[in-house]
Amino acid sequence: MTIGEPCRVMIVDDETLIRQGIKHYFNWEEEGFLIVGEAANGQEALEIIEEIQPHILITDIVMPIMDGEELTKIVKGKYPHIEIVVLSSFGEFEYVRSSFQNGVVDYILKPKLNAENLLAVLRMAAKRIPHLQLSKKSAGVALSVDQLLDKLIAGFEIDEHIEAIKMHFPREAYLLVGITICQKSSKEKGVKDLAQSIFSEKLNHIYYPIRSEKKTDVFLLNIDKANYSRIVASLEGDSDKQPEYRFLVTEMFDQITEVGKVYKESLLQLMDYHFYFPEKKLVLQTEILPASKPSVHFNLELLTEELKRERFASAFQYVREHGKHLSTCFTVDVQEFKSSFNNIIFTITILLRNIGYDVKQLEIDKYSHMALIEEASHAREVLRLLDLFLDKALNCVEGQQLNNPDRNMKELLDYISEHYMEPITLTSVAKHFHFNPSYLSSYFTSHNKEGFNEYVNKLRIEAATQKLRISSASISEISAQVGYADHSYFCKVFKKMTGYSPSQYRRKQLK
């Protein structure tokens, strides 16, 4: 390594906000450092380390797929010259200690992560790199077009480099094009080959890849304004010939310094739109109509009540209908959309456990469903994953219901307790639960100490005795209120169960 070359740094953290925050802590080039890459987990990092050749790796400890501890072991074994700085929380001491054994240079507690601490640790790491001498002069090193575009996308101003970058873009206008390939295998190679074929060979336009946080590959095109329609027509033709590709096209803009704004305000909107309408092969910014953000309320109280009453079919049907409705609201932020479904899955698992169901396997499965939802590339895939989880949840509770007559009996008794003041009969209850009346009669008697009619009469007479004690209503009125259409029959049943007629009972209570 030669003196004056900036120290190349890579950031690995599953939290986008952490990565963005680190990138904006200070002017890296002025301090002699250059961010050359980032990744959301150890596996992603390993896929690009060979290509970008960082000098220093800043990595989180706890990450999905491959954590920082495993990443450190592999990097130090394969690339011993790379210095590693670990980010950790207070409760991760054992991981940090293991990382030190693997040769990390230092660690920083996330709650104490700031520009001063980070810069001090980076300088210490840089001193361990042979032949590297940091100085402010490193800031004078000419940056590549890719590096300048990265800075513009991140929101930095590049006033001192503006003339240099304009030399690479001699034409009058710009636009951004996003390309997604439906088949994930060989994604990178396929998209790069396609971009070369369309933008360079066919259209003879200048294009540069833009580093994107999303799965969509992004390219900056420098064009003549008169050729915009030709570009759209060409992409439309390619989308018909190669249906596995999807194209997202922004409107034109005049200044290269606008690229960050267009990326954040236009292309990301196109990506969200495509998430809801994956069948559209070509999405133009000019086609998206402005729409206000809808108010989509999820009725948690309804779901909770339905699950408590063990009305699982209706509860899960409500969740499905809510999901279908939400999937039509393309102005809802994609991450918000996914989070709402993961929250529903988490809530259902907790509610079923609180009701008394054994949901150990469901609690394990929910994490894989939630992870797949986070990775889903379109709304229909999220709905499919939700359906799969709800089917598992329904199988879980129905399997336990079949093996738990007490739970079935509880549902019957709860229903009768809600409706005993109505003209309820064995036949009407059997119809509600889709039972044969004679089967319900024998089932009820074998699982309850009273038969059906005896149990209904008990509830009604208990209610009548309370009303006789506290209400001034007539006995005939009370008879009707507790579900008896025949006043004389009420008096007969009341005396049989209490030993008193209703009037005698009331006088006795008044003494």
Closest residue by Cα to residue 379 from 292, 279, 308, 449: 279
CATH class of 414-510: mainly alpha
At 246 the pLDDT is 87
What whole-number distance in Å separates Cα of residue 104 and Cα of residue 118? 15
- Which has more pLDDT, 503 or 329? 503
The tokens describing 159, both together, are 């006033």
Residue 278's nearest CA partner among 187, 375, 180, 178 is: 180
**Other C-beta atoms lying within 10 Å of the C-beta of residue 68:** 32
pTM as predicted:
0.55
Average per-residue pLDDT for the chain:
83
Residue 100: the pLDDT is 61
- Could you give the angle at the alpha carbon of 37 between the alpha carbons of 152 and 66, nearest 5°? 140
Evaluate if residue 159 carries a pLDDT over 90: no
For the stretch 73-83, pLDDT in tens is 899 889 988 99
pLDDT digits (tens, 9 = 90+) for 245-294: 889 999 999 999 899 899 988 898 888 888 888 888 888 888 776 655 55
pLDDT at residue number 185: 45
Maximum mean pLDDT: which of 225-234, 238-247, 296-305, 496-505: 496-505
Give 433 or 94, the one with higher predicted confidence: 433
Query: What class is the 7-141 domain?
Result: alpha beta
- The string of pLDDT tens digits covering residues 426-485 is 999 988 887 788 878 888 888 888 899 999 999 999 999 999 988 889 999 999 999 999
C-beta atoms surrounding 40 within 10 Å = 18
Question: What DSSP character marks residue 279?
Answer: T
Q: What is the mean pLDDT of residues 169-177?
A: 91
Residue 125: predicted pLDDT: 87
Please name the fold of domain 148-287: Alpha-Beta Plaits (3.30.70)
User: Which residues touch 354 (CB under 8 Å, ≥6 apart)?
Assistant: none
Asked if 296 and 209 touch (Cβ cutoff 8 Å), the reply is no
- CA 224-225-228 angle, 5° bins: 100
Token pair 């991760």: residue: 92
Q: Which helix (H) or strand (E) holds 11?
A: strand 7-12
